[in-house]
Chain A
Amino acid sequence: MKEPDLPPDEHGRLAELRALDIVDTPAEHAYDAITAIASHVAGTPMALVSLVDADRQWFKAKVGLQATETPRSISFCGHAVASGTTLRVHDARADDRFADNPLVLGEPKIRFYHGVPLISGGHALGTLCVLDRQPRVLSEEVERMLALLADQVVSQFELRRRNHELESQRAELSIQRRFFDMSLALLCTADRDLRFRLLNPRWEVVLGWSLEELAERPFLHLLHPDDVDRTVAEATRLAERKTPTVDFENRFRHRDGRWITLSWVAVLDGETFLAAAHDLTAYREKAAALAESEGRLRAIVETAADAVITFDGRGVVEQVNPTCTRMFGAGPDEIVGRPVSELVAPSHRDAPEARFDLDLEDPDRRSRPYEFPAIRRDGTLFDAEAMVAPFQLGAERRYTATVRDISERRRAERRQAEFVSTVTHELRTPLTSVRGALGLIDGGVLGPVSEPVAEYVGVALSNTERLGRLIDDVLDLEKMRSGQMVYRMAPEPVAALVDAALAATDGFAREHDAEVVVIGDVPAVEVVVDKDRMVQVLTNLISNAVKFTPSGQRVELSVEHAAERLRLRIRDHGPGVPAGFRDRIFQRFAQADGSGRRGGTGLGLSISKSIVDRHGGVLAFEDAPGGGTIFYVDLFAREP
């Protein structure tokens, strides 16, 4: 037996067969009919439409046979396919190629075979064949009929192929249709009379009209009257082939009466406009709102009383407001693009405290204003203060400096300082004379003094002293009020503060026959304070305690240190703070009834509290166990 050869185009042939997608499909009437006619025409009991697959032949249609396929190796058709020509086997037993073929020896005992190759797409895919159990010869007439029938099978193949193509086209169309339906863009086709033909459902969502309503009449009636001419003009440009596409905007009336702004792209395809539109309404509204808020912000920046400067991480100015150009007497071009440090007077460009473009990521550095002499374009200087805040623009870190001309404030401060110092001097000078003259009389330097005179000179003298303290206190308050009380903060050992306060009150305590004692140890820690001011506070508290303690009693001072808190306590053995006075004790000129006799000004506690507040501390009081009052000052302590 000879197995069929593989044809030279086997690879392409199998590809063609796959593409036809016919093997293992159900029987079809057309093939069955052709096969039946072939069997009848040839007068053979068997006929087949056989397709030769890689290693089998499979029967699309069959007459007189049970099998649906056989191995290719024993197939007759394989030989017809290998040669691409009609294979005629008149007597298989007499043919070396087939004599011992199992299909010849056994069922279906083939003796006669006539197979016409089915050539489709240039390849022999199989055969239309007729078979018999006895040797035969077909007339030319019959052979020609079989050849025609084979052509019919091939026609069926072509038909099948076209069906495949149509189906895949239909699938593609249906996908396109789905895109069309789900598109967020407004898609449409329209006739040359500007009547919608095909609209995707998005139109209903955006315009509120049903698709039928939209397609009812030419859409011009839905357009904003101001947009009709423009729209017609664009359609005309397309229709007259002056341009392949148009790109424009117009407004459609929503069913609820609003105008919807659409942005269009349209082409003309034959007699049909194809167009896609986008709803710009929300975008436009957002843009308008943005422009408005931007305009508002710009107005704020441009009309700000302060100069506003933005600069980049290298300290190069990017933008300035009009106040800035006015303040520095320079055009924007003379500031923008240049280092922001050029606004600082040259004398201070090396001073870290004046350079508001350095160390900006240190929040500590940013939290307070930079004060520096600023330089105008013409070289004149003015006192300025800058606050700097960082912001993020995209990936870049940028900074906004708000610069304020504080020369007027500085002048006022200087005037105020001069006033305070002048007043101090002017008030104290006569007081010194009065105090001196009274002192000399009182001391008997000018001759003997009678007792009633001495008594009244004593009254005058003590009131002179009180007046002196009052002047000091009023000036202190004035400095605090005007913010020009200067605090020179430095770390100080607590013991040094206590010692200084004790020294300052020593004489006073002795006069009052009171003893000021330190209870326990003073911890070896430091506090960051203005030493003068804090000693003033402690002196004031000790003096008060001395004043209110009955003579012969002790005033006790103690210092307690726990974690970061340091508490200085001053305890008196006085009558305690009267209930009705507790709320007012830190107010100016607040004095409990009768305490005026003790020579106070009523300002000491108010001043002390301001000072302690400025140190971030607490000044308060509590009743002492067993009578008397404890005033305490809480400060932040640190190890030296």
Chain B
Amino acid sequence: MKVLLVDDEADIRRIAELSLRNLGGHEVVAASSGAEALASVEGISPDVVLMDVTMPDLDGLAVLAEVRRRGLAVPVVFMTARVQPSDRERYLSAGAVGVIEKPFDPMTLHAALRRIVGG
């Protein structure tokens, strides 16, 4: 799968990228902000967007809304700290297909993502 990984933390991007690429065999394109993701999402045409919710400029929900506004059907999975079931419902009803809680286990991240996307 081609994964667009969006997170403002370089360390997290590195770890997630390594996990997804080395353990899951996914192709990973990383973006460090919501704006960057929106700028590149159409060019990349990823199979899935794995995105942090809390980011300094545009947050994950705003990016998701814009992606949908552009008519893109790409599945979006959020990564976020401290997920309450009510938050999960909120994200899902906003159009995300799944939520991965931070801190995540890098050894199983790729599998979790695949399970959510169903690929």
Contact = CB atoms under 8 A, between A and B. Distances in A.
Interface of A: 421, 424-425, 428-437, 439-440, 442-443, 445, 464-465, 468, 472, 475, 488, 500, 531-532, 535
Interface in B73-119: 81-82, 84-86, 102-107
B23 A445 contact: yes
Interface residues of B, number: 21
Contacts of B54: 421, 425
Given A440-B19, A488-B86, A445 B106 contact: yes
B82 A439 contact: no
11 contacts: A421-B54, A429-B9, A432-B81, A436-B11, A436-B15, A436-B19, A437-B11, A440-B18, A445-B19, A445-B23, A475-B82
The CB with the most chain B CB atoms within 10 A, among A432, A433, A442, A464, is that of: A432
A429 B15 contact: no
Contact of B16 (A436, A445, A488): A436
What 6 pairs between A and B have smallest CB-CB spacing? A436-B15, A435-B103, A428-B81, A433-B11, A443-B107, A432-B103
B82 A472 contact: yes
Contact of B15 (A433, A465, A472, A488): A433
B40 interface: no
A540 to B, nearest CB: 14
Interface string B55-86: 00000000000000000000000000110111
B18 A432 contact: no
A76 B75 CA distance: 143
Contacts, number: 72
B106 A439 contact: yes
Contacts of B11: 430, 433, 436-437
B45 interface: no
Contacts of B86: 488, 532
Nearest to B55: A425
A437 B82 contact: no
Interface of B: 9, 11-12, 15-16, 18-19, 22-23, 54, 81-82, 84-86, 102-107
Nearest to B11: A433
Contacts of B105: 435, 439
A445 B18 contact: yes
Q: Max chain A CB contacts within 10 Å: which of B11, B103, B105?
A: B103
B77 to A, nearest CB: 15
B84 to A, nearest CB: 5
A433 B9 CA distance: 9
B88 to A, nearest CB: 10
A435 to B, nearest CB: 4
B73 to A, nearest CB: 29
A443 B106 contact: yes
A436 B106 contact: yes
Given A433-B11, A443-B107, 20 more contacts: A421-B54, A424-B82, A425-B54, A425-B81, A428-B102, A432-B102, A432-B104, A433-B9, A435-B106, A436-B16, A436-B19, A436-B103, A437-B15, A440-B18, A440-B19, A440-B106, A443-B106, A445-B106, A500-B85, A532-B86
A270 to B, nearest CB: 98
A433 B12 contact: yes
Most buried by A among B19, B81, B84: B81
Nearest to A486: B86
Given A437-B15, A440-B19, A535-B85, A431 B103 contact: yes
B13 to A, nearest CB: 10
Nearest to B53: A425
A86 to B, nearest CB: 128
Given A429-B12, A436-B19, A440-B19, A532 B102 contact: no
B98 to A, nearest CB: 16
A531 B85 contact: yes
A464 B19 contact: no
A342 B45 CA distance: 55
Nearest to A533: B84
A431 B54 CA distance: 15
B85 A432 contact: no
Nearest to A429: B9
A125 B22 CA distance: 149
B82 A436 contact: no
Contacts of A439: 15, 105-107
Contacts of A440: 15, 18-19, 106-107
Contacts of A437: 11, 15
Contacts of B84: 532
A425 to B, nearest CB: 5
Nearest to A445: B22
Nearest to A428: B81
Nearest to A444: B107
A442 B15 CA distance: 13
A180 B104 CA distance: 103
Contacts of A500: 85
Contacts of B85: 500, 531-532, 535
B28 to A, nearest CB: 14
B22 A436 contact: no
Residue from A425, A430, A488 whose CB has the most chain B CB atoms within 10 Å: A425
| Most chain B CB neighbours (cut-off 10 Å) among A433, A475, A535 | A433
Contact of B103 (A424, A428, A442, A535): A428
Contacts of A424: 81-82
Contacts of B82: 424, 428, 472, 475
A437 B15 CA distance: 6
Nearest to B23: A445
A443 B108 CA distance: 10
Given A432-B12, A532-B84, A464 B103 contact: yes
Contacts of A421: 54
B56 to A, nearest CB: 10
Nearest to B85: A532
Nearest to A536: B84
Contacts of B22: 445
Contacts of B19: 436, 440, 445
B30 to A, nearest CB: 14
Nearest to B19: A440
Contacts of B103: 428, 431-432, 434-436, 464-465, 468
A204 B81 CA distance: 91
Nearest to A438: B106
Nearest to A437: B15
Contacts of A532: 84-86
Contacts of B104: 432, 435-436
A254 B34 CA distance: 94
Nearest to A425: B54
A427 to B, nearest CB: 8
Nearest to A422: B54
